[in-house]
Structure 1
Amino acid sequence: ARLGKLRAAIRSDRRYGKAIGFRYHDGKPGIVEGLLSRGDRRVGRVIKAVWAEGGRFDGWSEHFSFDRWMRCADAGLAGEPVDVSWYTTRERDHAEVLPWDHLDAGLDREWLWEDWQDALSEVEVDDCRWTPCYDCGVCPGMGTEIQVGPTGRQLLPLTPVRAG
Structure 2
Amino acid sequence: MYLITTISLFVLSMLGFTSATPIVRKSLNPKFLQARSPLATAAFASDWPTNVIMLGGSQSYGLYIPVDGTWYDFENIQCLGLPAYAIGDCNDITVDNIGVVAGNGPCSFVGNAGWAGTLQGNAGEGYYTVGPPQTIIRGKCGNLT
Relative contact order higher in (CA < 8 Å, ≥ 6 apart): 2
Q: TM-score, normalising length from structure 2?
A: 0.22
Greater helix share, 1 or 2?
Answer: 1
